[in-house]
Structure 1
Amino acid sequence: MNTLRAKIALLLVVSIVSVVALITLAMLYVFSTPMDDQVDLLAKQLIIMERLAKQNPDAGFLAHRPDAGAPDEDQTEKIRSATVRLGATLDITVTHKTDDIRFRIASVRAGPRSWILVDFDPSSDPEFWMWFALITIGVGSIAVFAANRMIRPLALLESAAESVSPDGILPALAERGPAEVRATAAAINSLASRLKRAIESRMRLVAAAGHDFRTPLTRMRLRAEFVADEEERALWLKDIDELERIADSAIQLVREETTTTSPEVIRVDDLVRSVVAELQDQKFAIEVTDTREAYVKASRLALSRALRNLFINAATHGVRAIVTVTGGPLARITISDHGPGIAPDVLDQVFEPFFRADRARSQKVPGAGLGLTISREIIRRDGGEIRIANRPGGGLVQVVELPSVLPFAVAGVSVTGAMSATMKR
């Protein structure tokens, strides 16, 4: 009921049903006869017929016996009370008509062996609930159809937002339909085109700046080598190394955002153990404590680079890293460390380019501050997500989640093919 479509449909249903209800009640009030008046009219008719029958005992409308149908005590009491109220006392019995249960027969004694038989339709409260149920069903169907038509431009916006790719590119929308829908699609396409040009321009700018940094940095390194003071020369070379790391990381970030590689089915637990073994050979304090078999569809090289960045980040800043892998609908890689953690007020900034938890931006640990940014870019491009939080016992926990896939694709066998082969055996 929180959707605009449902709210518009409900508004139309309530409005139309309310109008129909008011009109129906007004018509019933103006044109219908009250039930008491209907009973009194029938009672007057029976009184008149009983008096005429007594004046003419041989009248042709008289019967020799009362109706033999099932008695209706309620209608009998109503008509007897009406005749008494009108000043006459009649011997009346009301029975159900045998061939039509909607009607009744009033049997009035007109003499020792003569009866007056009158068919009538008893007054009853109209079944408004059936009328309103039919009206509500019909109006509801029309309202849902009208609501869908009314919010079609908004549905176009919703589908456009959902179709945005991980790199921020929006595919072109078909410009067809009503004028409003065409105008909305054209505006979205124009916005997507401008956005794509802006992203490409930004990427070219960052790549060009990172590339152009290399030449002056090389000249600065050569000049620094001729500085006589060894301590001063070391400081110059340290700053130049940091600038080179920033330039290389910026170029790598652009490359990750612009390069597209064909994804493949990867066994995540094997990949994690491989990357951890490689880092252990490089003397990083990291280990795998628990893994479960899980498969994802991603670029092996890019995913390896993302995990390596996360593992190195945990092993260097967090003193010691522990990695676990679990399966299910999502393949989950959990990286825990025993470091100091990150201040809660800046925790949501960890994925910002060039972010450093140390606000003094000290360089106790080498790095350009782009490792987490690059890792998140790779993971999101493969349909996953990464979260970072402080552990209750101290340190950080990094959680990477990627959509799992069936392992059948590893051997190039579809699920249907595997089932067919089993049936043949």
Structure 2
Amino acid sequence: MNTLRVKFAVLLVVAIVAVVGLLTVLLFYLLGPPKRAERALDGVAMQVETTLQLTSKGLGGVTLRDEPASGRVYRRTTKKLREELKTRGLDLPVTVSRAKRHAPLIVSIPIDDKGWLWMPTSGMPPSGPPWKALFRWLTVIALGAAVIAVFVSNRMVRPLALLEKAVASVGPDGLMPELPERGSAEVRATAKALNSLSARLKRAMESRMRLVAAAGHDMRTPITRMRLRAEFVQDHDERDKWLEDLDELERIADSAIMLVREETGNAAPELLRLDELVGAIGTELKDQKLDITCKTLNPTTVRASRFKLNRALRNLIINAATHGVRARVSVEGDGTTARVIIEDDGPGIPGELIHQVFEPFFRADPARRQDIPGAGLGLTIAYEIVSRAGGRIAIANRPGGGLLQTVELPEAETEADS
């Protein structure tokens, strides 16, 4: 995982193990490696030789056994001891064994045909190369260092995780909740900077909304005066053109004010049946002579503002029925996500412009005359409403022609489901 927590932990583990390993190697160099069991067998062989000399002189007090000592036989050590005895002229089938884990090693020595002499010995290093012991030592150090590193890195990164969580909680309005300014100096400075940035962003957005609302409101007075003057134009065709342009200006002003209300409004959400809402919108728009077909309306429940969601879906369906000739609407859900799918048979939108459809006053063909009523803010308003409800809108060209609009909202759990 490419996270700061993992990087801290790995850095600490590598640092601790590297320091301990270097110190261990340095001690090996200065003091020499521990003696291997095979190198310490010359002393044991000397003891065996001395014991044989004593028993050959008939010294009493020596107890012989009928068989070698029981327990685990150290075959490699036994072999090395026999080779060491051969160098001293003694060809004896001695064995080195241990009865229990912490018991002393027993050297079993055959005494002619009289039996076996058990000679305990201690101080022998463990068999095998010293690097095995070094590896075990470093393994223990690495495990201990890993535990310490994980604990320390979690403590160090915890304030940054809180910052990450706070930044991830940015709402659809683009604002971030205030962050607690605690922790290390760097974390406090970062939290303070983010809080300042969030406050400035909020003020800038509110200023923009006030400006748009004021402009839309102030446009109504000159529009009304111009409408009164247009009534006195003698040429009927010219008067109709003036009134048509004034109607479009009034729609733009009203849409701008409506967009501000959507971005600043805070209507309480409620449980509502999405299929019933879409069916009611379809019936209402059919009465307005729009070509709309409700295909499949599966029962789905969402949590949103009824008034706002009604406006967003109306905008999308009207957009399909006017610009796309006819609209086909369906509602479906999978228990997690509710979807409203709107298809039309229009010309679609050029691929290089489709990512701009939610921008205010967007026109697929800016040069064309506005012969369909609208201010170019319908998709923008719908996008704001759906985003604030926790959903998303996707618009794409259909393979067979036309446009495909998909609205996704979190499906709510009803009382019957709980």
Paired position in structure 2 for 1:104: 105
Paired position in structure 2 for 1:180: 186
Secondary structure of the 2:38 match is helix
- State the alpha-carbon separation in 2 of the partners of residues 129 and 407 from structure 1: 60
- State the alpha-carbon separation in 2 of the partners of residues 100 and 216 from structure 1: 102
Say which is worse superposed, 230-239 or 26-35, in terms of deviation: 26-35
Paired position in structure 1 for 2:19: 19
- State the alpha-carbon separation in 2 of the partners of residues 178 and 319 from structure 1: 61
Paired position in structure 2 for 1:89: 90
Shift of 1:65: 5.0
Paired position in structure 1 for 2:391: 384
**Residue 88 to residue 25, structure 1, CA distance change in 2 (3 Å):** farther
Q: Within 5 Å, which residues of 2 pair with 1:39-58? A: 39-54=41-56, 56-58=57-59
Shift of 1:361: 4.4
Shift of 1:35: 4.0
Paired position in structure 2 for 1:278: 284
- State the alpha-carbon separation in 2 of the partners of residues 239 and 105 from structure 1: 112
Paired position in structure 2 for 1:395: 402
**Residue 369 to residue 59, structure 1, CA distance change in 2 (3 Å):** farther
- State the alpha-carbon separation in 2 of the partners of residues 130 and 332 from structure 1: 59
Opposite residue 293 of structure 1, the aligned amino acid is: P
Paired position in structure 1 for 2:296: 290
Paired position in structure 2 for 1:308: 314
**Residue 167 to residue 77, structure 1, CA distance change in 2 (3 Å):** same
**Residue 220 to residue 8, structure 1, CA distance change in 2 (3 Å):** same
- 1:338-395 Cα shifts (integer Å, max 9, x gaps): 1111111111111111111113243132211111110010011111111111111111
Residue 155 (structure 1) aligned with residue 158 (structure 2): no
**Residue 311 to residue 198, structure 1, CA distance change in 2 (3 Å):** same
Opposite residue 358 of structure 1, the aligned amino acid is: D
**Residue 250 to residue 107, structure 1, CA distance change in 2 (3 Å):** same
Paired position in structure 2 for 1:171: 177
Paired position in structure 2 for 1:124: 128
User: Do the aligned partners of 2:38 and 2:77 also contact (CA within 8 Å) in 1?
Assistant: no
Paired position in structure 2 for 1:367: 374
Q: Within 5 Å, which residues of 2 pair with 1:219-298? A: 219-298=225-304
Residue 135 (structure 1) aligned with residue 141 (structure 2): yes
Say which is worse superposed, 302-311 or 95-104, in terms of deviation: 95-104
Opposite residue 89 of structure 2, the aligned amino acid is: A
- State the alpha-carbon separation in 1 of the partners of residues 406 and 195 from structure 2: 36
Opposite residue 251 of structure 2, the aligned amino acid is: R
- State the alpha-carbon separation in 2 of the partners of residues 333 and 222 from structure 1: 43
User: Do the aligned partners of 1:53 and 1:62 also contact (CA within 8 Å) in 2?
Assistant: no
Shift of 1:124: 3.5
Say which is worse superposed, 285-294 or 140-149, in terms of deviation: 140-149
- State the alpha-carbon separation in 2 of the partners of residues 397 and 43 from structure 1: 93
- State the alpha-carbon separation in 2 of the partners of residues 95 and 314 from structure 1: 93
Q: CA RMSD in A?
A: 2.5
- 1:294-349 Cα shifts (integer Å, max 9, x gaps): 11111000000000000001111111111111112011111111111111111111
Paired position in structure 2 for 1:419: none
Structure 2, gaps ≥5 residues long: none
- State the alpha-carbon separation in 2 of the partners of residues 131 and 100 from structure 1: 20
Aligned residues: 409
Q: Taking structure 1 as the reference length, what is the TM-score of the superposition? A: 0.88
User: Do the aligned partners of 2:71 and 2:100 also contact (CA within 8 Å) in 1?
Assistant: no
**Residue 249 to residue 31, structure 1, CA distance change in 2 (3 Å):** same
User: Do the aligned partners of 1:264 and 1:299 also contact (CA within 8 Å) in 2?
Assistant: yes
Opposite residue 285 of structure 2, the aligned amino acid is: L
Say which is worse superposed, 100-109 or 167-176, in terms of deviation: 100-109
**Residue 109 to residue 147, structure 1, CA distance change in 2 (3 Å):** same
User: Do the aligned partners of 1:66 and 1:117 also contact (CA within 8 Å) in 2?
Assistant: no
Say which is worse superposed, 214-223 or 234-243, in terms of deviation: 234-243
Shift of 1:21: 3.6
Shift of 1:246: 1.1
Opposite residue 307 of structure 1, the aligned amino acid is: L
- State the alpha-carbon separation in 2 of the partners of residues 97 and 37 from structure 1: 19
Residue 358 (structure 1) aligned with residue 358 (structure 2): no
Secondary structure of the 2:293 match is strand
- State the alpha-carbon separation in 1 of the partners of residues 46 and 350 from structure 2: 94
Calculate percent identity across the aligned residue pairs: 52
Residue number among 72, 78, 81 corresponding to 2:80 in the alignment: 78
Opposite residue 123 of structure 1, the aligned amino acid is: S
Residue 189 (structure 1) aligned with residue 195 (structure 2): yes
User: Do the aligned partners of 1:276 and 1:287 also contact (CA within 8 Å) in 2?
Assistant: yes
Residue 331 (structure 1) aligned with residue 341 (structure 2): no
Paired position in structure 1 for 2:150: 144
- 1:77-124 Cα shifts (integer Å, max 9, x gaps): 22112322x342231321533354764311223555373623345523
Say which is worse superposed, 101-110 or 233-242, in terms of deviation: 101-110
Opposite residue 77 of structure 2, the aligned amino acid is: Q
User: Do the aligned partners of 1:57 and 1:111 also contact (CA within 8 Å) in 2?
Assistant: no
Opposite residue 8 of structure 2, the aligned amino acid is: I
Paired position in structure 1 for 2:38: 36
